[in-house]
Amino acid sequence: MEDIKLNQVHTELEALLQLVETLRGKNGCPWDKKQTPESVSIYLMEEVFELAEAIETADPDQIRDELGDVLFHIVFIARMFQERGEFDLAAVAQTITRKMIRRHPHVFGETKISSSEEVTQNWQKIKLDEKKPEAGQSLLDSVPTKLPALLRAYRISDRVAGAAFDDTDIDSNLNNAQGALDSLIAGLRCQDKSVASEQIGDLLFAVVNLARIGKIHPETALAGSVKRFEQRFKKMEELVSKSKREFAEVSIDEKKLIWQKLQKSVL
């Protein structure tokens, strides 16, 4: 049965590879033929976010569809590098397979690991060894600059922690966050935008560091908060609509009362 499934995977991947080759070929699509890795990378990032949203829905059909979009763009980019004579999709698969084997010595080697925490620690050690900066390079140079700021802050915080530059004391980090908050309040009160902007950034970075120490991914935590806010706000709009009034006509005091009730009921 497994052999049959593998054969089907090979068949479908071959069909996808042939499709992309045709699109980029002599009689292919004019739009597809003029694309570059740089131009397609933008679409790939969009598709990855759409996939993440689909996963949140837990709808298998939607997830499958978005996974297909991501896979198409990966195959498409690999094809462009193949045309340049640099590498093909097979080389991509070979590289990631070797990397995963190297980073799982407890599965494919003799390393003994008994918990997921140990796996994470060993993974970071192996990764640091792989990405050890050359002379003149920083450990942080490998953190993509195009990552959204929240994700990049988390990656940088995690990277320096893995290099033994880390203060894991909760109280110390809370003090850092409180200091940034106090400076932010001062900046806002004196209407100094430059100070306020800098301190908002410092506060956000301090909170990201606290999240990492608490083993909470800030992106996941923020996504949850945004989702709860959306649910409550939409419910408030619904309640106002039922009262036959326009949302903008309702006083801020009444909106606050509705919001306070929704905070208790809409989780």
Please say if the pLDDT value at position 157 is more than 80: yes
pLDDT at site 191: 83
Residue 199 is part of a domain; what is its CATH number? 1.10.287.1080
- Of 44-53, 127-136, 151-160, 162-171, which gets the smallest average pLDDT? 127-136
Q: Is residue 121 part of a domain?
A: no
Residue 111: inside a domain: no
Instruction: Identify whether 57 is part of a domain.
Output: yes
- How far is 118 from 124, CA to CA, in rounded Å? 10
Q: Rounded mean pLDDT of 157-174?
A: 83
Which domain, by its residues, includes 78? Answer: 2-102
The CA-atom distances, in angstroms, between 118 and each of 81, 164, 200, 211, 250 are: 37, 16, 34, 19, 55
Is the distance from CB of 156 to CB of 207 less than 8 angstroms? no
Residue 123 forms part of a structural domain: no
pLDDT at residue 60, rounded to an integer: 96
pLDDT above 70 for 1: no
Domains of the chain: total: 3
243 in the same domain as 212: no
Q: 27 in a domain, yes or no?
A: yes
Closest CA to 108 of 85, 128, 126, 91: 126
Residue 116 lies in a domain: no
End residue of a domain, out of 86, 102, 118: 102
Quote the pLDDT of residue 134: 66
Q: Quick one: average pLDDT of 113-123?
A: 84
- Same domain as 97, residue 20: yes
| Average pLDDT of the residues in 174-191 | 88
Are 49 and 18 contained in the same domain? Answer: yes
Residue 215 and residue 238 in contact, taking contact as beta carbons nearer than 8 Å? no
Mean pLDDT for all residues in the chain: 89
- Residue 69 or residue 144, greater confidence: 69
Region 179-188: what's the mean pLDDT? 88
